[in-house]
Amino acid sequence: MIVYLVRRFGQSLLAVVAMAVLVFMGVYAIGNPVDVLISPEASQADIAAATARLGLDKPLWQQFGIFVINAFQGDLGTSFVYGRPALDIILERLPATFELAMVALFLSVGIGVPLGVWAGMRPESIAGRTIMAGSILGFSLPNFWQGMLLILVFAVLLGWLPAGGRGQTTEFLGMQVSFLTLDGLSHLILPAINLALFKMSLLIRLTRANTREVCLQDYVKFARAKGLSGRRVVLVHILKNIMIPVVTIIGLELGSMLAFAIVTETVFAWPGMGKLLIDSINLLDRPVIVAYLMLTVLIIVMINFMVDVIYSFLDPRIRLSEMKG
């Protein structure tokens, strides 16, 4: 088990390093930020001074070296725009995105898994078919369009919920959160649904396919032959087996939800990291972009690592064979 975890940790580290190189190289290719930051009438000397101040006059490999050394000290550069550490700016926005992603994840698992199991148990029933048809819609309609439709129906036509912003926040575990106040919650619902719909559809399909497969297994029939209640057969014998792939997907999707809440945040003016990224790209605020990408990679790698750990707990076959190995 320890050997397994150490090996997985090494792999994770390698992934982060590889991404650091890619991100740095990739972002370096984006136009010259000095052009954006300095007024068009600035003299050649002003431009040179600004370039030197930002460290952009050094050769590429030196810039990367400085970037890596600083990164290890938690310094991912200073925002060209805000003049403050890029990481701080992103971390300020992280709680909003994190909250949105968690609520969306909660919705997609809490609704997607039960619906998927239901549809898998009765694939031919009307309910089962309706669930599947719904998931196809959630799957294929573009995310931003779903978001705008939600705003149109619930904010504009019905006027039940606000169309954007974060609403009133309170402090919870040292973070500003919306879900504890009524106003915050009403702001949270629509973007969370929007972010959840795609994942929910994914989970419905995954859970349904797995449920159908597991249902055909002899051990399910044997469980019924033992006289267990239908409830226990589904909640223990079937669910425990389909949780293995579901947890994997949840882990992967949580990472991507955090990272790519961009569309939802933009549509609903949700002040999170995604919106910050879009703004920074428009302003060519290179350190913020780099810091955002690096942080995202780190989060995804960490989540994947944790998923592997949970996975090994769920599946005794992996845990025990790795223990021996």
Partner 1 sequence: MTKLLEIRDLHTHFFTRDGIAKAVDGVSLSLERGQILGLVGESGSGKSVTGFSILGLVDAPGRVVSGQVLFDGTDLIAGGERLLRTLRGKRIAMIFQDPMMTLNPVLRIDTQMIETVRAHEDVSRDEALRRSREALVSVGISSPDERLETYPHQFSGGMRQRVAIAIALLHKPDLIIADEPTTALDVTIQAQILSEVQALCANSGTALIWITHDLAVVSGLADHLAVMYAGRIIEEGPTRDVIAQPMHPYTKGLIESVPRGKKHGALLSQIKGMTPSLLRLPSGCKFRPRCPRATAACEIEPALDVMDQGRRVRCVHPHTENYPEVLAK
The footprint of partner 1 (CB under 8 A) covers 124, 216-219, 221-229, 232, 236-237, 240-241, 244, 314-317, 320
**68, 71, 64: which is closest to 87 by C-alpha?**
71
Q: Based on CB atoms, which residue is closest to partner 1, 50 or 318?
A: 318
CA neighbours closer than 13 Å in the CB half-sphere of residue 89: 24
Q: Based on CB atoms, which residue is closest to partner 1, 53 or 221?
A: 221
Structure token digits, residue 28: 């370096």
CB of 128 to partner 1, least distance (A): 12
Helix/strand number for the chain, H first, E second? 15, 2
What are the residues whose beta carbons fall under 8 Å from the beta carbon of 164, sequence distance 6 or more? 151, 187, 267, 268, 269, 270
Q: Based on CB atoms, which residue is closest to partner 1, 141 or 244?
A: 244
CA neighbours closer than 13 Å in the CB half-sphere of residue 161: 22
CB of 307 to partner 1, least distance (A): 17
CB-based contact 268:100 (threshold 8 Å): no
**23, 4, 2, 5: which is closest to 298 by C-alpha?**
23
Query: C-alpha 246: how far from its chain's center?
Result: 16
Q: Based on CB atoms, which residue is closest to partner 1, 178 or 241?
A: 241
Q: Based on CB atoms, which residue is closest to partner 1, 53 or 226?
A: 226
Q: Based on CB atoms, which residue is closest to partner 1, 43 or 229?
A: 229
Give the type of residue at 174. Answer: G
- How far apart are alpha carbons 180 and 172 in whole angstroms? 8
Q: Based on CB atoms, which residue is closest to partner 1, 118 or 179?
A: 118
- How far apart are alpha carbons 131 and 2 in whole angstroms? 42
- How far apart are alpha carbons 312 and 297 in whole angstroms? 23
The SS3 of residue 167 is: coil
